[in-house]
Chain A
Amino acid sequence: MKRICFYFQVHQPFRLKNYRYFDIGNHHEYFDEKKNRMIMEKVAEKSYIPANKILLNLIQKFGNRFKVSFSISGTALDQFELYTPETLKSFQELAATGQVEFLSETYAHSLSSIRNPEEFKKQVKDHSNKIEILFNQKPKVFRNTELIYSDQIGNLVSSMGYKTILAEGADHVLTWKSPNYLYQSEKNPELKILLKNYRLSDDIAFRFSQFGPLGVEKFTQWIDAIPKEEEIINLFMDYETFGEHQWKETGIFDFLKAFPAHILEKTEYTFVTPGEAANELKAIASISMPKPVSWADEERNLSAWLGNGIQDDAFESIYRLEKKINRCSDDELIKDWRYLQTSDHFYYMCTKHFADGDVHKYFNPYDSPYEAFINFMNVLSDFEERLENKLMQKKNNPIFLRRKIKSILEKNEIKLQALQ
Chain B
Amino acid sequence: MRVLMFGWEFPPHISGGLGTACYGITKALAEQEIHILFVVPKLFGDEKKGNVSFIDANQTAINLSYPESQKILKHLNYIQVDSGIVPYTSPWNEEILTEKNILHTKNETKKMLHFYFSGEYGKNLIKEVAQYALVAAEIVKKKSFDIIHAHDWLTYPAGIVAKEMSGKPLIVHVHATEYDRSGENPNKTVYEIEKKGMQAADTIIAVSEFTKKIIINKYGIPASKISVVHNGIIEAKNKFITKKITPYRKKTVSFIGRITYQKGPDYFIETARMVLRKFPNTHFVMAGSGDMLLPMIHRIAELKLSSRFHFTGFLQAEEIEKLYALSDIYVMPSVSEPFGITPLEAMQSGIPVIISKQSGVSEVLKNVFKINFWDIHAMADTICNLLKHESLSDALIHSGMKEIRNIKWEDSARKIKKIYKSHLQVIH
Residues of A near any B CB (own CB < 8 A):
20-22, 308-310, 312-313, 351, 354-355, 367-368, 370-371, 373-374, 377-378
Which chain A positions have C-beta within 8 A of B366? 354-355, 368
- With A309-B391, A309-B398, A310-B391 given, can you name 11 additional A-B contacts, CB distance below 8 Å? A21-B381, A22-B278, A310-B392, A312-B391, A368-B369, A370-B369, A371-B369, A373-B389, A374-B382, A374-B385, A378-B381
**A21-B380, A368-B366 as given contacts; A351 in contact with B385, CB under 8 Å:** no
Query: Does B332 make an interface contact (CB < 8 A)?
Result: no
State the CA gap A20–B370 with chains docked (Å).
15
Tell me if B381 and A367 are in contact (CB < 8 A): no
Chain B residues with Cβ below 8 Å from A378 are 381, 385
Residues of B within 8 A of A312 (CB): 391
Quick check: B369 and A22 within 8 Å, CB to CB?
A: no
Q: Are B381 and A313 neighbours in the complex by a CB distance under 8 Å? A: no
A313 to B384, CA, bound (A): 16
Find out whether the CB atom of B395 lies under 8 angstroms from the CB atom of A355.
no
Q: Is the interface of B mostly helix, strand, loop or mixed?
A: helix
Q: Which residues of A contact B370 (CB under 8 A)?
A: 367-368
Q: Across the interface, which residues of B come within 8 angstroms of A20, CB to CB?
A: 377-378, 381
B391 to chain A, nearest CB (A): 4
CB pair A309 B394 closer than 8 Å? yes
Residue interface mask B249-293, A partner, CB < 8 A = 1: 000000000000000000000000010001000000000000000
**A to B CB contacts below 8 Å, 12 in the list:** A20-B377, A21-B381, A22-B377, A310-B395, A313-B389, A313-B391, A313-B392, A355-B403, A370-B392, A370-B395, A373-B389, A377-B392
In the complex formed, the residue of A with least CB distance to B383 is A21
Q: Are A21 and B395 in contact (CB under 8 A)?
A: no
Complex alpha-carbon distance, A147 and B252, angstroms: 45
Taken together as a complex, chains A and B put the C-alpha atoms of A351 and B389 apart, in Å, by 17
Q: A377 vs B381: C-alpha distance in the bound complex, in angstroms? A: 11
Interface 0/1 of B392-403, CB less than 8 Å to A: 101110110001
A17 to chain B, nearest CB (A): 13
From A308, A354, A377, B389 is in contact (CB under 8 Å) with A377
B367 at the A/B interface (Cβ < 8 Å)? yes
A313 to B388, CA, bound (A): 12
Q: How many Å lie between the Cα of A312 and that of B391 in the bound state?
A: 9
The 5 closest A-B pairs by CB, nearest first: A313-B391, A21-B384, A309-B391, A21-B381, A374-B385
Q: Are B395 and A309 in contact (CB under 8 A)?
A: yes
Smallest Cβ distance from A258 to chain B, in angstroms? Answer: 43
Residues of B within 8 A of A368 (CB): 366-367, 369-370
Report how far A378 CA is from B399 CA in the complex, Å. 22
Residues of chain B contacted by A310 (CB below 8 angstroms): 389, 391-392, 395
With both chains docked as a complex, state the minimum distance between the C-beta of B329 and any C-beta of chain A, in angstroms.
13
Select from chain B the residue with minimum beta-carbon distance to A354: B366
Q: Complex Cα distance A57/B307, Å?
A: 74
Q: CA–CA, A355 to B392, complex, Å?
A: 17
Give Cα A21 to B380, complex, Å. 8
Query: Shortest CB–CB separation between residue A415 and chain B, in angstroms?
Result: 43
* Chain B positions within 8 Å of A313 at CB level: 389, 391-392
Contacts of B394 in A (CB 8 A): 309
* Residues on B with beta carbons closer than 8 Å to the beta carbon of A374: 381-382, 385, 392
Checking B381, B396, B398, B399 against A22 with a beta-carbon cut-off of 8 angstroms, the contacting residue is B381
Give, as a whole number of angstroms, the nearest-CB distance from A356 to chain B. Answer: 10
Using Cβ atoms and an 8 Å threshold, which residues of chain B touch A373?
Answer: 385, 389, 392, 395
Residue in A closest to B369 when the chains form the complex, CB atoms: A370
A309: which B residues are within 8 A, CB to CB? Answer: 391-392, 394-395, 398
Contacts of B385 in A (CB 8 A): 21, 373-374, 377-378
Q: Please, what's the 1-or-0 string for B166-178, where 1 marks a CB less than 8 Å from any CB in chain A? A: 0000000000000
Residues of B within 8 A of A308 (CB): 395
Cα distance, A354 to B395, chains bound together (Å): 13
Chain B residue nearest to A381 in the complex (CB)? B388
Q: How far is the CB of B90 from chain A (nearest CB, A)?
A: 61
Q: Across the two chains, which residue of chain A brings its CB closest to B391? A: A313
Are the C-beta atoms of A354 and B391 separated by less than 8 Å? no
B257 to chain A, nearest CB (A): 23
Q: Which residues of A contact B377 (CB under 8 A)?
A: 20, 22
| B window 296-326: CB within 8 A of A | none
Shortest A364–chain B CB gap in Å is 13
Contact B380 A22 (CB under 8 A): yes
B residues less than 8 Å from A355 (CB atoms): 366, 403
CB contact list, B374-426 vs A, under 8 A: 377-378, 380-382, 384-385, 388-389, 391-392, 394-396, 398-399, 403
Report Cα–Cα, A355/B378, bound state, in Å.
Answer: 23
A167–B381 Cα distance when bound, in Å, is 40
Check A354/B367 contact, CB under 8 A, given A313-B391, A377-B389: yes
A312–B394 Cα gap in the complex (Å)?
13
A351 to B403, CA, bound (A): 13
